[in-house]
Amino acid sequence: MRNILTICGKELRAYFASPIAYLLIAFFGLIFGFFFYSATAYFVNAGLRQSMMGGGGQPMSVNEYVIAPLLGNASVVGLFLIPLISMRLFAEEKRTGTIELLLTSPVRDWEIILGKWLGAMVMYICVLAISMANIALLFAWGQPDWRPILTGYLGLILQGGCVLAIGAFISTTTRNQIIAGGATFAICLLLWVLSWVSSYNDAGWAQAVAYCSILTHFEPFSKGIIDTKDIVFYLSAIFLGLFLTSRSLESLRWRA
């Protein structure tokens, strides 16, 4: 456990010692802020129109019209940002040779992997955290239900963990960060668009393909639904990613 935390701390420090952490937080804050503005503007407009029409019917829900689409957008933006977090995990150490220090220290491979993955997770959570500023505004001027927000963030974290695990694996396969980032990005994109298949095809295989999309599993979270099937999907994807990472790290030794 101590080794994991040591490596996790070192990773975090590396992120915050370079501009990458601040850039990611700034960009995510900017993009999320824009989405937040459009979602609330639309909501206010629609609300005004509803009251002018006589104010009949149910009041519009902030959760449904603002928070759910906002978190949905955040999960897509996350797919674009996460490769930037994961690409350096192993590729950089391979390029500078510091991987030799890690692999010749009395530390187990899985401790290295878990430490690095956790470090990347904390970095990702820091990026997500900036969006809380916008959500706080909703609480200041409205009464949104806090529970779907919580599950939404849980979903974002799980989804991020799973992409980071895949990114960590890809990062072990190259010493070039750009390649690692690019490949992870391509896979993220693919995992996103897989969900589109089910919209034009009802066949069983199409459903199966759509099931593999990480975004399909995010939707329920943004609506406040925690389904075991989604949690299991994310956890097994994280496990698979980290398992592949450990195999790949081991093969580094054998193939040299």
Partner 1 sequence: MIKVEGLTKRYARNIAVKNISFEVGKGEIVGFLGKNGAGKTTTMRVLTCFLPPTSGKANVAGFDVVEQSLEVKKHIGYLPETPPLYPEMEVADYLSFVAKLKGIPSGEIGRRVDEVCERTSIGGVKKTIIGKLSKGYRQRVGIAQAIIHNPPVLILDEPTSGLDPEQQREARTLIASLSGDHTIILSTHILSEVEQSCSSVIIINNGEIVAVDSVANLHHRGRANEIISVEVVGASPVSVRQRLEQVPGVARVVSRDARDGAAAFDVEALENTFVRPHLARAIVESGWDLTELKVVGESLEEIFLELTRSEKTEGELVAAQ
* Contacting positions for partner 1 (CB under 8 A): 2-3, 6-7, 10, 13-14, 17-18, 96-108, 253-256
Between residues 102 and 183, which has the closer beta carbon with respect to partner 1?
102
Give the nearest distance from C-beta 175 to partner 1 in angstroms.
13
Three-state SS for 142? coil
| Helices assigned H by DSSP within the chain | 2-17, 19-52, 62, 68-86, 88-96, 99-103, 109-129, 132-141, 146-172, 177-193, 197-200, 204-211, 219-222, 228-255
| Of the candidates 152, 223, 133, 39, the residue with the CA atom closest to the CA atom of residue 47 | 39
Give the nearest distance from C-beta 20 to partner 1 in angstroms.
11
Instruction: Supply 215's token pair.
Output: 């975004």
Residues of the chain by 3-state class (helix, strand, coil), percent to 5: 80, 0, 20
Give the nearest distance from C-beta 27 to partner 1 in angstroms.
21
Between residues 3 and 38, which has the closer beta carbon with respect to partner 1?
3
Phi-psi category of 106—alpha, beta or left, where left has phi over 0 and alpha has psi -120 to 50? beta
Between residues 17 and 53, which has the closer beta carbon with respect to partner 1?
17
Give the nearest distance from C-beta 78 to partner 1 in angstroms.
25
Tell me phi and psi for residue 213, to 5 degrees. Answer: -70, 135
Between residues 107 and 231, which has the closer beta carbon with respect to partner 1?
107
Between residues 13 and 247, which has the closer beta carbon with respect to partner 1?
13
Give the nearest distance from C-beta 127 to partner 1 in angstroms.
19
